[in-house]
Amino acid sequence: MIADVQTIHPTKVGGKAQVPSSKSLCHRAILAAALAEGESQIHSVSFSEDIEATLDVVRALGAQITPIEQGLHIKGIGGAKRMDAAQPLHIDCRESGSTLRFVVPILAALGISATYTGKGRLGERPMDVYYQIFEKQNMQYETAKGRLPLTVRSSLQAGDFVIDGGISSQFITGLLMALPLLAQPSTLRIFHLQSRPYVDLTLEVLRLFGIVIHKEEQEETLVLSIPGGQRYHSACYTVEPDASQAAFWIAAGGIAAEKQGLLIRHYTPETVQGDKVFLDLFAALGGRFCHEAEGLRVFRSKLQGDQTVDVSQCPDLVPIMAVLGTYNQGRLHIVGAGRVRIKESDRLAAISRELGRLGAQITEEPEGLWVQAAALHGGTVESWNDHRIAMALGVAALGAQGPVYIQGAGSAAKSWPSFWDDFKQIMR
Protein backbone atom coordinates (compact mmCIF):
# COMPACT_ATOMS: atom_id res chain seq x y z
CA MET A 1 0.00 0.00 0.00
CA ILE A 2 1.36 3.41 -0.99
CA ALA A 3 1.12 6.02 1.76
CA ASP A 4 -1.28 8.79 0.86
CA VAL A 5 0.88 11.39 2.61
CA GLN A 6 4.56 11.71 1.83
CA THR A 7 6.94 13.85 3.90
CA ILE A 8 9.92 15.12 1.91
CA HIS A 9 12.75 16.85 3.78
CA PRO A 10 15.22 19.10 1.96
CA THR A 11 18.13 16.94 0.89
CA LYS A 12 20.64 16.18 -1.81
CA VAL A 13 20.12 13.43 -4.36
CA GLY A 14 22.60 11.07 -5.93
CA GLY A 15 23.33 7.55 -7.06
CA LYS A 16 21.35 5.95 -9.88
CA ALA A 17 17.77 6.86 -10.71
CA GLN A 18 15.36 4.49 -12.44
CA VAL A 19 12.98 5.67 -15.16
CA PRO A 20 9.88 3.62 -16.06
CA SER A 21 9.27 2.71 -19.66
CA SER A 22 7.16 5.03 -21.78
CA LYS A 23 3.51 4.77 -20.80
CA SER A 24 2.48 6.20 -24.17
CA LEU A 25 4.40 3.53 -26.06
CA CYS A 26 3.21 0.74 -23.75
CA HIS A 27 -0.45 1.56 -24.46
CA ARG A 28 0.13 1.53 -28.20
CA ALA A 29 2.25 -1.63 -28.27
CA ILE A 30 -0.15 -3.63 -26.09
CA LEU A 31 -3.13 -2.72 -28.27
CA ALA A 32 -1.24 -3.45 -31.50
CA ALA A 33 -0.08 -6.84 -30.19
CA ALA A 34 -3.61 -7.69 -29.07
CA LEU A 35 -4.97 -6.89 -32.55
CA ALA A 36 -2.26 -8.88 -34.31
CA GLU A 37 -2.40 -12.38 -35.67
CA GLY A 38 0.13 -14.55 -33.85
CA GLU A 39 2.19 -14.01 -30.73
CA SER A 40 4.12 -10.89 -29.72
CA GLN A 41 6.50 -10.04 -26.93
CA ILE A 42 6.58 -6.59 -25.34
CA HIS A 43 9.71 -6.02 -23.26
CA SER A 44 10.45 -3.38 -20.59
CA VAL A 45 6.84 -2.83 -19.60
CA SER A 46 6.31 -0.63 -16.55
CA PHE A 47 3.00 -1.56 -14.98
CA SER A 48 0.78 1.22 -13.66
CA GLU A 49 -2.92 1.80 -13.14
CA ASP A 50 -3.27 3.24 -16.64
CA ILE A 51 -1.49 0.30 -18.27
CA GLU A 52 -3.59 -2.17 -16.26
CA ALA A 53 -6.69 -0.46 -17.66
CA THR A 54 -5.51 -1.14 -21.21
CA LEU A 55 -4.62 -4.74 -20.32
CA ASP A 56 -8.14 -5.24 -18.97
CA VAL A 57 -9.52 -4.15 -22.34
CA VAL A 58 -7.43 -6.51 -24.45
CA ARG A 59 -8.26 -9.41 -22.13
CA ALA A 60 -11.94 -8.60 -22.63
CA LEU A 61 -11.35 -8.80 -26.39
CA GLY A 62 -9.94 -12.29 -26.02
CA ALA A 63 -6.22 -11.64 -26.25
CA GLN A 64 -4.15 -14.00 -24.09
CA ILE A 65 -1.71 -12.18 -21.80
CA THR A 66 1.17 -14.00 -20.13
CA PRO A 67 3.70 -12.17 -17.95
CA ILE A 68 7.36 -12.66 -18.82
CA GLU A 69 10.42 -11.14 -17.19
CA GLN A 70 9.88 -7.36 -17.30
CA GLY A 71 7.32 -7.71 -20.03
CA LEU A 72 4.39 -9.46 -21.64
CA HIS A 73 3.73 -12.29 -24.07
CA ILE A 74 0.54 -11.49 -26.00
CA LYS A 75 -1.40 -13.86 -28.27
CA GLY A 76 -3.52 -11.57 -30.40
CA ILE A 77 -7.06 -11.94 -31.70
CA GLY A 78 -6.39 -11.03 -35.35
CA GLY A 79 -7.53 -7.50 -36.12
CA ALA A 80 -10.11 -8.25 -38.81
CA LYS A 81 -12.14 -10.50 -36.52
CA ARG A 82 -15.63 -9.33 -35.59
CA MET A 83 -17.05 -10.15 -32.16
CA ASP A 84 -20.79 -9.48 -32.12
CA ALA A 85 -21.94 -9.32 -28.53
CA ALA A 86 -25.62 -9.61 -27.57
CA GLN A 87 -24.93 -7.30 -24.66
CA PRO A 88 -22.39 -4.47 -24.81
CA LEU A 89 -19.04 -5.25 -23.25
CA HIS A 90 -18.34 -3.29 -20.09
CA ILE A 91 -15.03 -1.45 -20.46
CA ASP A 92 -13.74 0.21 -17.27
CA CYS A 93 -11.04 2.68 -18.32
CA ARG A 94 -10.32 3.67 -14.70
CA GLU A 95 -8.69 7.12 -15.01
CA SER A 96 -6.84 6.47 -18.25
CA GLY A 97 -7.67 8.96 -20.98
CA SER A 98 -5.40 7.09 -23.40
CA THR A 99 -7.27 3.83 -22.83
CA LEU A 100 -10.67 5.43 -23.37
CA ARG A 101 -9.79 7.44 -26.46
CA PHE A 102 -7.75 4.67 -28.07
CA VAL A 103 -10.20 1.81 -27.64
CA VAL A 104 -13.54 3.50 -28.50
CA PRO A 105 -12.84 3.58 -32.28
CA ILE A 106 -10.97 0.26 -32.21
CA LEU A 107 -13.94 -1.62 -30.77
CA ALA A 108 -16.30 0.22 -33.11
CA ALA A 109 -14.14 -0.84 -36.07
CA LEU A 110 -14.35 -4.44 -34.84
CA GLY A 111 -18.15 -4.21 -34.63
CA ILE A 112 -18.18 -4.63 -30.87
CA SER A 113 -20.87 -2.88 -28.81
CA ALA A 114 -19.42 -1.54 -25.58
CA THR A 115 -20.22 0.62 -22.58
CA TYR A 116 -17.31 2.70 -21.30
CA THR A 117 -16.97 3.86 -17.71
CA GLY A 118 -14.22 5.46 -15.66
CA LYS A 119 -13.49 7.29 -12.45
CA GLY A 120 -12.05 10.59 -11.28
CA ARG A 121 -12.22 13.33 -13.90
CA LEU A 122 -12.14 10.90 -16.81
CA GLY A 123 -15.89 11.14 -17.32
CA GLU A 124 -15.62 14.91 -17.78
CA ARG A 125 -12.84 14.91 -20.37
CA PRO A 126 -13.95 15.91 -23.87
CA MET A 127 -15.03 13.25 -26.36
CA ASP A 128 -16.62 15.61 -28.88
CA VAL A 129 -14.33 14.51 -31.73
CA TYR A 130 -15.87 11.04 -31.58
CA TYR A 131 -19.42 12.27 -31.01
CA GLN A 132 -19.18 14.31 -34.20
CA ILE A 133 -18.05 11.21 -36.12
CA PHE A 134 -20.86 9.16 -34.62
CA GLU A 135 -23.43 11.76 -35.68
CA LYS A 136 -22.02 12.03 -39.21
CA GLN A 137 -22.11 8.25 -39.67
CA ASN A 138 -25.52 7.86 -37.99
CA MET A 139 -24.01 5.55 -35.40
CA GLN A 140 -26.06 4.54 -32.37
CA TYR A 141 -24.57 5.81 -29.12
CA GLU A 142 -25.75 6.96 -25.71
CA THR A 143 -24.10 9.32 -23.27
CA ALA A 144 -25.22 11.39 -20.31
CA LYS A 145 -24.74 14.98 -21.49
CA GLY A 146 -21.42 14.15 -23.14
CA ARG A 147 -20.04 12.36 -20.08
CA LEU A 148 -19.42 8.76 -19.15
CA PRO A 149 -20.88 6.22 -19.19
CA LEU A 150 -20.78 6.05 -22.98
CA THR A 151 -22.38 3.19 -24.92
CA VAL A 152 -21.55 2.69 -28.62
CA ARG A 153 -23.72 0.17 -30.47
CA SER A 154 -22.75 0.73 -34.13
CA SER A 155 -19.77 -0.07 -36.30
CA LEU A 156 -17.34 2.57 -37.45
CA GLN A 157 -17.27 3.10 -41.23
CA ALA A 158 -14.35 4.05 -43.46
CA GLY A 159 -14.31 7.56 -44.88
CA ASP A 160 -12.67 10.96 -45.06
CA PHE A 161 -12.23 12.35 -41.56
CA VAL A 162 -11.44 16.00 -40.84
CA ILE A 163 -10.07 16.43 -37.32
CA ASP A 164 -9.21 19.51 -35.29
CA GLY A 165 -5.96 18.44 -33.65
CA GLY A 166 -6.07 21.23 -31.08
CA ILE A 167 -7.80 19.19 -28.35
CA SER A 168 -5.85 15.95 -27.96
CA SER A 169 -3.77 13.74 -30.22
CA GLN A 170 -5.32 10.74 -28.44
CA PHE A 171 -8.32 10.90 -30.79
CA ILE A 172 -5.98 10.75 -33.77
CA THR A 173 -4.15 7.75 -32.34
CA GLY A 174 -7.43 5.93 -31.73
CA LEU A 175 -8.51 6.45 -35.33
CA LEU A 176 -5.07 5.54 -36.71
CA MET A 177 -5.22 2.22 -34.86
CA ALA A 178 -8.83 1.51 -35.86
CA LEU A 179 -9.15 2.56 -39.50
CA PRO A 180 -6.69 0.01 -40.97
CA LEU A 181 -9.05 -2.73 -39.71
CA LEU A 182 -11.87 -1.55 -42.00
CA ALA A 183 -12.36 -3.03 -45.46
CA GLN A 184 -12.22 0.28 -47.32
CA PRO A 185 -9.52 3.00 -47.27
CA SER A 186 -9.81 6.13 -45.15
CA THR A 187 -8.17 9.52 -44.95
CA LEU A 188 -7.44 11.63 -41.87
CA ARG A 189 -7.05 15.36 -42.47
CA ILE A 190 -5.73 17.03 -39.33
CA PHE A 191 -5.44 20.76 -38.82
CA HIS A 192 -4.23 22.73 -35.79
CA LEU A 193 -2.29 19.65 -34.74
CA GLN A 194 -0.83 19.86 -31.26
CA SER A 195 1.23 17.16 -29.58
CA ARG A 196 2.57 16.13 -32.99
CA PRO A 197 5.26 13.89 -31.42
CA TYR A 198 2.53 11.62 -30.02
CA VAL A 199 1.16 11.08 -33.51
CA ASP A 200 4.68 10.22 -34.67
CA LEU A 201 4.93 7.67 -31.82
CA THR A 202 1.72 6.05 -33.05
CA LEU A 203 2.88 5.88 -36.65
CA GLU A 204 6.17 4.28 -35.60
CA VAL A 205 4.48 1.59 -33.49
CA LEU A 206 1.96 0.86 -36.23
CA ARG A 207 4.79 0.50 -38.74
CA LEU A 208 6.56 -2.03 -36.53
CA PHE A 209 3.34 -4.07 -36.28
CA GLY A 210 2.89 -4.14 -40.05
CA ILE A 211 0.42 -1.29 -40.62
CA VAL A 212 0.98 0.97 -43.64
CA ILE A 213 -0.03 4.64 -43.46
CA HIS A 214 0.95 7.29 -45.99
CA LYS A 215 1.76 10.77 -44.68
CA GLU A 216 1.59 14.05 -46.58
CA GLU A 217 1.93 17.68 -45.47
CA GLN A 218 -0.50 20.07 -47.17
CA GLU A 219 0.06 23.66 -46.02
CA GLU A 220 -1.06 23.59 -42.36
CA THR A 221 -2.84 20.24 -42.64
CA LEU A 222 -1.42 16.77 -42.03
CA VAL A 223 -3.01 14.25 -44.36
CA LEU A 224 -2.79 10.57 -43.44
CA SER A 225 -3.97 8.03 -46.03
CA ILE A 226 -4.87 4.66 -44.55
CA PRO A 227 -5.39 1.63 -46.81
CA GLY A 228 -8.21 -0.64 -45.71
CA GLY A 229 -8.20 -4.38 -45.15
CA GLN A 230 -4.93 -4.42 -43.25
CA ARG A 231 -3.84 -6.97 -40.64
CA TYR A 232 -1.64 -6.29 -37.66
CA HIS A 233 1.45 -8.53 -37.59
CA SER A 234 3.00 -9.91 -34.44
CA ALA A 235 6.28 -8.34 -33.32
CA CYS A 236 8.95 -8.30 -30.65
CA TYR A 237 9.07 -4.79 -29.22
CA THR A 238 11.12 -3.16 -26.45
CA VAL A 239 9.65 -0.04 -24.84
CA GLU A 240 12.13 2.78 -24.27
CA PRO A 241 12.34 4.88 -21.07
CA ASP A 242 9.69 7.52 -20.58
CA ALA A 243 10.99 11.00 -21.43
CA SER A 244 8.25 12.77 -19.50
CA GLN A 245 9.04 10.79 -16.34
CA ALA A 246 12.77 11.32 -16.79
CA ALA A 247 12.07 15.06 -16.56
CA PHE A 248 11.38 14.67 -12.82
CA TRP A 249 14.87 13.26 -12.28
CA ILE A 250 16.51 15.88 -14.52
CA ALA A 251 14.89 18.60 -12.43
CA ALA A 252 15.78 16.82 -9.18
CA GLY A 253 19.43 16.56 -10.21
CA GLY A 254 19.60 20.17 -11.30
CA ILE A 255 18.09 21.35 -8.03
CA ALA A 256 19.77 19.10 -5.49
CA ALA A 257 22.39 16.69 -6.91
CA GLU A 258 25.41 15.89 -4.79
CA LYS A 259 28.87 16.60 -6.19
CA GLN A 260 29.04 13.40 -8.24
CA GLY A 261 25.68 14.17 -9.84
CA LEU A 262 22.60 12.00 -10.34
CA LEU A 263 22.79 9.25 -12.97
CA ILE A 264 19.53 8.64 -14.84
CA ARG A 265 19.95 5.08 -16.07
CA HIS A 266 19.30 4.16 -19.73
CA TYR A 267 18.06 7.64 -20.61
CA THR A 268 18.98 8.72 -24.12
CA PRO A 269 18.02 11.76 -26.20
CA GLU A 270 17.70 9.47 -29.23
CA THR A 271 13.94 9.13 -29.02
CA VAL A 272 10.93 10.37 -30.95
CA GLN A 273 9.18 11.24 -27.68
CA GLY A 274 8.42 14.93 -27.71
CA ASP A 275 8.99 15.34 -23.98
CA LYS A 276 12.74 15.04 -24.53
CA VAL A 277 12.60 18.84 -24.99
CA PHE A 278 12.76 19.17 -21.20
CA LEU A 279 16.48 18.49 -21.39
CA ASP A 280 16.78 21.28 -23.97
CA LEU A 281 15.08 23.72 -21.58
CA PHE A 282 17.32 22.59 -18.73
CA ALA A 283 20.37 23.22 -20.92
CA ALA A 284 19.06 26.62 -22.05
CA LEU A 285 18.81 27.71 -18.42
CA GLY A 286 22.39 26.65 -17.73
CA GLY A 287 21.73 23.11 -16.57
CA ARG A 288 24.81 20.87 -16.37
CA PHE A 289 24.79 17.26 -17.54
CA CYS A 290 26.77 14.75 -19.56
CA HIS A 291 25.95 11.60 -21.49
CA GLU A 292 27.55 8.36 -20.35
CA ALA A 293 27.35 4.75 -21.46
CA GLU A 294 24.88 3.94 -18.69
CA GLY A 295 22.67 7.00 -19.14
CA LEU A 296 22.49 10.72 -18.40
CA ARG A 297 24.37 12.26 -15.45
CA VAL A 298 22.85 15.50 -14.15
CA PHE A 299 24.67 17.93 -11.87
CA ARG A 300 23.39 20.55 -9.48
CA SER A 301 23.19 23.71 -11.56
CA LYS A 302 22.87 27.45 -11.20
CA LEU A 303 19.87 28.04 -13.39
CA GLN A 304 19.44 31.53 -14.80
CA GLY A 305 17.80 33.09 -17.78
CA ASP A 306 14.51 34.30 -19.20
CA GLN A 307 12.73 31.74 -21.37
CA THR A 308 9.38 31.39 -23.07
CA VAL A 309 8.37 27.78 -23.66
CA ASP A 310 5.45 26.71 -25.84
CA VAL A 311 4.23 23.41 -24.39
CA SER A 312 1.52 22.73 -26.99
CA GLN A 313 3.60 19.76 -28.19
CA CYS A 314 4.59 18.56 -24.69
CA PRO A 315 1.76 19.40 -22.25
CA ASP A 316 2.65 16.73 -19.69
CA LEU A 317 5.78 18.70 -18.79
CA VAL A 318 3.92 21.71 -17.37
CA PRO A 319 4.02 20.76 -13.64
CA ILE A 320 7.73 19.91 -13.55
CA MET A 321 8.61 22.89 -15.77
CA ALA A 322 6.90 25.13 -13.22
CA VAL A 323 9.01 23.57 -10.46
CA LEU A 324 12.19 24.15 -12.45
CA GLY A 325 11.12 27.76 -12.90
CA THR A 326 11.03 28.37 -9.15
CA TYR A 327 14.76 27.53 -9.00
CA ASN A 328 15.69 29.64 -12.03
CA GLN A 329 17.14 33.11 -11.52
CA GLY A 330 15.03 34.58 -14.29
CA ARG A 331 11.48 34.47 -15.61
CA LEU A 332 10.01 31.36 -17.18
CA HIS A 333 6.89 31.91 -19.28
CA ILE A 334 4.95 28.74 -20.09
CA VAL A 335 2.51 29.23 -22.97
CA GLY A 336 0.23 27.04 -25.08
CA ALA A 337 -0.89 25.10 -22.00
CA GLY A 338 -4.67 25.53 -22.11
CA ARG A 339 -5.31 21.82 -22.66
CA VAL A 340 -3.76 20.84 -19.33
CA ARG A 341 -6.82 22.26 -17.58
CA ILE A 342 -8.70 19.11 -18.66
CA LYS A 343 -6.24 16.50 -17.46
CA GLU A 344 -6.53 14.57 -14.18
CA SER A 345 -6.77 18.02 -12.61
CA ASP A 346 -6.74 21.59 -13.85
CA ARG A 347 -2.96 21.49 -13.85
CA LEU A 348 -2.43 25.21 -14.30
CA ALA A 349 -4.55 25.94 -11.24
CA ALA A 350 -3.16 23.00 -9.27
CA ILE A 351 0.56 23.62 -9.71
CA SER A 352 0.28 27.40 -9.31
CA ARG A 353 -1.78 27.10 -6.14
CA GLU A 354 0.32 24.38 -4.49
CA LEU A 355 3.70 25.91 -5.34
CA GLY A 356 2.24 29.20 -4.15
CA ARG A 357 1.56 27.60 -0.77
CA LEU A 358 5.29 26.95 -0.54
CA GLY A 359 6.17 30.55 -1.38
CA ALA A 360 6.63 30.35 -5.16
CA GLN A 361 6.27 33.46 -7.28
CA ILE A 362 3.94 32.06 -9.88
CA THR A 363 1.13 33.68 -11.84
CA GLU A 364 -1.60 31.73 -13.59
CA GLU A 365 -2.80 32.81 -17.02
CA PRO A 366 -5.68 31.39 -19.08
CA GLU A 367 -3.27 29.24 -21.10
CA GLY A 368 0.00 29.41 -19.23
CA LEU A 369 2.10 30.40 -16.25
CA TRP A 370 4.69 33.00 -15.30
CA VAL A 371 7.27 31.59 -12.88
CA GLN A 372 10.31 33.16 -11.29
CA ALA A 373 12.80 32.34 -8.56
CA ALA A 374 11.60 32.12 -4.99
CA ALA A 375 12.85 30.64 -1.74
CA LEU A 376 10.43 27.81 -1.05
CA HIS A 377 9.53 27.14 2.55
CA GLY A 378 8.01 23.99 3.96
CA GLY A 379 4.33 23.31 4.35
CA THR A 380 1.41 21.11 3.44
CA VAL A 381 0.31 20.75 -0.18
CA GLU A 382 -2.29 18.75 -2.12
CA SER A 383 -1.84 16.51 -5.14
CA TRP A 384 -5.33 17.20 -6.53
CA ASN A 385 -5.46 13.43 -7.18
CA ASP A 386 -3.05 14.04 -10.07
CA HIS A 387 0.06 11.91 -10.46
CA ARG A 388 2.12 14.61 -12.16
CA ILE A 389 1.24 17.24 -9.57
CA ALA A 390 2.21 14.87 -6.73
CA MET A 391 5.55 13.96 -8.29
CA ALA A 392 6.38 17.57 -9.21
CA LEU A 393 5.75 18.69 -5.63
CA GLY A 394 8.09 15.97 -4.37
CA VAL A 395 10.88 17.36 -6.55
CA ALA A 396 10.08 20.93 -5.50
CA ALA A 397 10.53 19.91 -1.86
CA LEU A 398 14.18 18.91 -2.37
CA GLY A 399 15.41 22.52 -2.27
CA ALA A 400 12.86 23.93 0.17
CA GLN A 401 13.79 25.39 3.54
CA GLY A 402 11.69 22.94 5.52
CA PRO A 403 9.78 19.67 5.16
CA VAL A 404 6.93 19.44 2.67
CA TYR A 405 3.92 17.24 3.40
CA ILE A 406 2.25 16.02 0.19
CA GLN A 407 -1.33 14.91 0.68
CA GLY A 408 -2.75 12.51 -1.88
CA ALA A 409 0.75 11.37 -2.81
CA GLY A 410 -0.56 7.91 -3.65
CA SER A 411 -1.94 9.34 -6.90
CA ALA A 412 1.55 8.85 -8.36
CA ALA A 413 0.60 5.18 -8.82
CA LYS A 414 -1.51 6.12 -11.83
CA SER A 415 1.62 6.25 -13.98
CA TRP A 416 4.53 5.31 -11.65
CA PRO A 417 3.59 3.01 -8.74
CA SER A 418 7.17 2.83 -7.40
CA PHE A 419 7.85 6.57 -7.66
CA TRP A 420 8.16 7.29 -3.94
CA ASP A 421 10.31 4.22 -3.34
CA ASP A 422 12.52 5.20 -6.28
CA PHE A 423 12.60 8.77 -4.97
CA LYS A 424 13.83 7.68 -1.56
CA GLN A 425 16.53 5.54 -3.16
CA ILE A 426 18.25 8.65 -4.53
CA MET A 427 17.83 10.82 -1.42
CA ARG A 428 21.05 11.37 0.50
Name the superfamily (CATH) of residues 5-21+240-426.
Answer: Enolpyruvate transferase domain (3.65.10.10)
What pTM did the predictor assign?
Answer: 0.94
pLDDT at 167: 80
- How does residue 3 score in pLDDT terms, banded at 50, 70 and 90? low
Q: In the annotation, is 316 catalytic?
A: yes
- How does residue 246 score in pLDDT terms, banded at 50, 70 and 90? very high
- Mean pLDDT across 127-136: 96
Locate CATH 3.65.10.10 in the chain: 5-21+240-426, 23-223
- How does residue 1 score in pLDDT terms, banded at 50, 70 and 90? very low
Residue pLDDT, tens place only, 311-355:
999 999 999 999 999 999 999 999 999 999 999 999 999 999 999
- Top-confidence range, 19-33, 79-93, 161-175: 19-33
Candidates 2.60.120.620, 3.10.180.10, 3.40.50.720, 3.65.10.10; correct CATH number of 23-223? 3.65.10.10
Q: 299 versus 270: which is more confidently predicted?
A: 299
* Annotated catalytic residue within 50, 242, 275, 316: 316
Residue pLDDT, tens place only, 353-369:
999 999 999 999 999 99
pLDDT at 83: 52
Residue pLDDT, tens place only, 247-285:
999 999 999 999 999 999 999 878 889 999 999 999 999
pLDDT at 85: 55
pLDDT at 219: 83
Cα dihedral 382, 386, 389, 395 sign: positive
Q: Is 81's pLDDT higher than 60?
A: no
- Mean pLDDT across 180-208: 94
Which of 23, 33, 22 minimizes the C-alpha distance to 208?
Answer: 33
Task: Assign 3-state DSSP to the chain and report helix, strand, coil percentages, each to 5.
Answer: 35, 30, 35
- Which strand (E) or helix (H) includes residue 206? helix 196-208
Query: Are β-strands 331-335 and 307-310 bridged in parallel, bridged antiparallel, or unpaired?
Result: parallel
| Average pLDDT of the chain, as a whole number | 95
Counting beta carbons within 10 angstroms of the beta carbon of residue 60, is it exposed (0 to 12), middle (13 to 18) or buried (19 or more)? middle
What is the share, in percent, of the chain residues with pLDDT greater than 70? 97
Question: What is the chain's alpha carbon radius of gyration, rounded to the nearest angstrom?
Answer: 22
Return left, alpha or beta for 104; rule: phi > 0 is left, psi -120 to 50 is alpha, else beta. Answer: alpha
Residue 372 has, within 13 A of its CA and on its CB side, a CA count of 7
CA distance 238 to 68: 13
CA distance 214 to 227: 9
pLDDT at 84: 55
- How does residue 46 score in pLDDT terms, banded at 50, 70 and 90? very high
